[in-house]
Amino acid sequence: MAGFNKVVHSYEEALAGLNDDMTIMVGGFGLCGIPEGLINHMVKLGVKGLTAISNNAGVDDFGLGLLLKQHQISTMIASYVGENATFEQQMLSGELNVILTPQGTLAEKIRAGGAGIPAFFTATGYGTPIADGKETREIKGRHYVLEESLTADFALVRAWKADTMGNLVFRKTAANFNPMMATAGKITVVEAEEIVEPGELDPDHIHTPGIYVDRVIKASFEKRIEQRTVKAAK
């Protein structure tokens, strides 16, 4: 790598340094916007004991479901995990530690982590099992729960376009958790559909500035659809 050129040309380089027992963040909502190639390479690496932070857990044969199937994840932090039978079975058997987190709180924990804020108060979850054991406070007549932020050893992000300096543009609802995760990884690895030269992305249109990004790899994506819904043709 030279200067600000963050492009790597192999998944080995992209995930160099990823070891057992690390904490990883993985972008995506359902199967939309997940870094497919990086996940597949983690399966190949066989790293184990991972703490995975991701809104969902993939499906049985795609996305994070592939890591679960190989028993590579020991703790999962997610908001909704309903689409994965492997997950259910490992959760029920106690093999997998699951920390269910409200979706907005999860997003904010990651945003805060990347922004250097250690914790924040939110009304979300007050009076529910989510608040058990957490500090609460009344502020201006309303009750709030103290939630600690999240960071990770590796943040695995999927972008639409990246330039070689790591500036990122996301596409439609494939952005989801990716922009915050890009800020919250000690090492942030981006899998992009397209890599362009510096200056080709309009600085006004960049979603994630390159300062957050360590490595960029170009990939093609299967983009599997979870719920294919169409309207009847007229």
Partner 1 sequence: MALTREQLAQRVAKELQDGFYVNLGIGIPTLVANYIPQGMQVMLQSENGLLGMGEFPTEENIDADLINAGKQTVTAVAGASFFSSAESFAMIRGGHVDLTVLGAFEVDVNGSIASWMIPGKLIKGMGGAMDLVAGADNIIVTMMHADKHGNSKLLSTCELPLTGYGCIKRVITDLAFMEIKDGAFHLLERAPGVSVEEIVTKTAGKLVVPEHVPEMTF
Q: How many CB atoms lie within 10 A of CB 195?
A: 19
Q: What is the DSSP letter of 105?
A: H
Residue 161 CA to residue 33 CA, distance in Å, equals: 13
> Closest distance between partner 1 and the C-beta of residue 2, in Å?
31
Q: For partner 1, which stretch binds (CB under 8 A), given 13-21, 45-53, 101-109, 195-203?
A: 101-109
- Of 33, 58, 185, 210, the one binding partner 1 (CB under 8 A) is 33
Q: What per-residue string of b and e applies to 25-56 under the rule 16 or more CB within 10 Å gives b?
A: bbbbbbbbbbbbbbbbbbeeeebeebbbbbbb
Both tokens of residue 93?
Answer: 């058997």
> Closest distance between partner 1 and the C-beta of residue 127, in Å?
3
In the range 119-138, which residues lie near partner 1 by CB under 8 A?
122-130
Element (H, E) at 15: none
1 is an interface residue for partner 1 by CB under 8 A: no
90 is an interface residue for partner 1 by CB under 8 A: no
Residue 18 CA to residue 34 CA, distance in Å, equals: 18
- Of 107, 168, 195, 201, the one binding partner 1 (CB under 8 A) is 107
> Which parts of this chain interact with partner 1 (CB under 8 A)?
29-33, 55, 78-83, 88, 91-92, 100, 102-108, 110-111, 122-130, 143, 160, 170-180, 207, 223-231, 233
